[in-house]
Amino acid sequence: MDLQAIMVLAFGRVSLLEICSVFSRKLKSVEMPCERVALIEFSKVEEDVTRLAGIHKLASPVVIAGDTNFTESTKAFLEKTLDYQDDIANFSVSSYCHGASDVGYDDTVATILSGLRESGFRKINLIRPKDRELKADEIVSRGVLDIVEVFHKGNHYLAPTVLVSDYDAFHSRGTGRPFPSSEITLSPRLAKTLLNLTGLSEGETLLDPFCGSGTIISEGALTSLNCIGIDSNPKRVAQARQNLDWLESQSGRALSYRFEVGDARSLEERLTKVDGIATEPILLPRFSSRPSRKKAKDLFNKASRVYSEALYSMAEVLRKGSRVALTVPTLKASDGSEVSMRLEDTSDVGLKEFQPGHARFEYPVKVAFESTRWLGRAIYVFERT
């Protein structure tokens, strides 16, 4: 039986790219009603869903509640949902992709509350989340039955949240290590999303040639990959080693990693073939004000030279059929436009843009919901031809 699920996305289309990459042949169809949500149909899921880093919640099974008999269909949905619930103290409704003509949020809440009380949950407590969305960490900490509702193409979808991301683990890895992430450093959640886009399996070799303080290497090591981190800055390499030593002691198991000081533009001089590359070559510094469009383009033109030279070297050490996933910076200019770095003519070095199927992606794919005031990220995934 096919499983239909609602996934609440952490990074918009980047999260959708991760879903398509991880599930591959198991994915039957996918739709994206809005930047926050994907509607998914699988042929087989197994444990793969727990690998996803780019989602906040997974809600399943999905029921379509019609507008004409909304009360009846919603109560039927509750009967099905409550078969899996022994006790409920708190509940909430998280609403996404809401339009002006859709069933009102308060109507949904009232109908579900009435149905729960009719089912015997007399003392159940309604939690009204800010902006109609209960965060994943609150669902766990407060023991909440969270009902997700989504509106799409005239349909009203309802599903109970059955899985939330491990917020505490990502947070502790970002802030608890000796050299924590700064405001503009890649977050552990995005680092693991980038890692998943490489398609690497346990025991394969991951390279991060701009490793910084080791955020991507940390996620790779925890996923049982053999990790190599390279950076031109000896101080950053020393920090990365300390961060990984800390992570190893926290995890209680041996992790496979090594770090070297070196130039990402001459990898072939020190490495044999690797199975995948995930990296953030350059993220521009924070700005006190928006730069002009010309200045933004000038900054990207200078940075693109580093990318071009590094991509050539990455392609040299990447096995055929393997992938490189990397970020590029985006900037909001003073005229209100957004400028992003574009990597072109990569076929000259044996790299083609990766398309996982089920949805077509135009690169670079912007990372939604994670940026500073003007500085953001986008992602490229290339495959070695």
- Higher-pLDDT residue of 57 and 153 is 57
Mean pLDDT of 301-321: 92
Is residue 295 located within the same domain as residue 343? Answer: yes
- pLDDT tens per residue, range 368-385: 987 667 788 999 999 999
The most confident of 12-21, 68-77, 86-95, 173-182, by mean pLDDT: 12-21
Is residue 48 located within the same domain as residue 81? Answer: yes
Note the pLDDT of residue 350: 95
> Which residue shows structure tokens 């996982």?
356
DSSP-H helix ranges across the chain: 13-23, 70-82, 105-118, 136-141, 167-175, 188-197, 215-222, 234-251, 293-317
Mean pLDDT of 148-152: 90
**Least confident stretch, 185-189, 195-199, 212-216:** 185-189
Is residue 299 located within the same domain as residue 207? Answer: yes
Q: Is 60 exceeded by the pLDDT of residue 163?
A: yes
- pLDDT tens per residue, range 87-132: 778 889 999 987 655 568 888 888 888 888 887 777 888 999 888 9
Note the pLDDT of residue 184: 67
- pLDDT tens per residue, range 244-264: 999 999 999 999 999 999 999
- Higher-pLDDT residue of 285 and 356 is 356
Cα dihedral 37, 40, 45, 48 in deg (nearest 10): -30
SS3 state at 257: strand
CATH number of the domain within which 116 lies: 3.30.2130.30
Is residue 156 located within the same domain as residue 172? Answer: no
Q: Is 50 exceeded by the pLDDT of residue 1?
A: no
For the chain, the domain total comes to: 2
Q: Is 90 exceeded by the pLDDT of residue 19?
A: yes
CATH number of the domain within which 215 lies: 3.40.50.150
Buried b (16+ CB within 10 A) or exposed e, 348-381: ebbbeebebebbebebbbbbbeebeebbbbbbbb
Using an 8 Å Cβ cutoff, are 352 and 385 in contact? Answer: yes
Query: How far apart are the C-alpha atoms of 162 and 5, rounded to whole Å?
Result: 10
CA–CA distance from 187 to each of 10, 161, 224, 371 (Å)?
A: 12, 24, 19, 11
Which among 197, 227, 205, 231 is positioned nearest to 380, based on CA atoms? 197
Note the pLDDT of residue 379: 97
- Higher-pLDDT residue of 351 and 155 is 351
Query: How far apart are the C-alpha atoms of 270 and 134, rounded to whole Å?
Result: 49
Is residue 192 located within the same domain as residue 79? Answer: no
Note the pLDDT of residue 36: 95
Task: Compute the mean pLDDT over every residue in the chain, rounded to the nearest whole number.
Answer: 88
pLDDT band at 68 (very low <50, low <70, confident <90, very high): low
Is residue 205 located within the same domain as residue 301? Answer: yes
Mean pLDDT of 61-68: 71
Range of the domain at 257: 168-384
β-pairing verdict for 205-208 and 274-279: parallel
Is residue 253 located within the same domain as residue 336? Answer: yes
Q: Is 70 exceeded by the pLDDT of residue 13?
A: yes
Is residue 143 located within the same domain as residue 91? Answer: yes
Is residue 61 located within the same domain as residue 174? Answer: no
Q: Is 50 exceeded by the pLDDT of residue 85?
A: yes
Q: Which of 164, 191, 226 delimits the end of a domain?
A: 164
Mean pLDDT of 271-296: 86
Mean pLDDT of 37-52: 82
Q: Is 50 exceeded by the pLDDT of residue 320?
A: yes
Is residue 194 located within the same domain as residue 157? Answer: no
Using an 8 Å Cβ cutoff, are 271 and 315 in contact? Answer: no
pLDDT band at 223 (very low <50, low <70, confident <90, very high): very high
Is residue 315 located within the same domain as residue 379? Answer: yes
pLDDT above 90 coverage of the chain, percent: 53
Q: Which of 106, 129, 164 delimits the end of a domain?
A: 164
Q: Which of 123, 146, 164 delimits the end of a domain?
A: 164
pLDDT band at 267 (very low <50, low <70, confident <90, very high): very high
Is residue 84 located within the same domain as residue 116? Answer: yes
Can you spell out the DSSP letters for 38-64? EEEEES--TTGGGG--SEEEEE-S-EE
Q: Is 60 exceeded by the pLDDT of residue 243?
A: yes
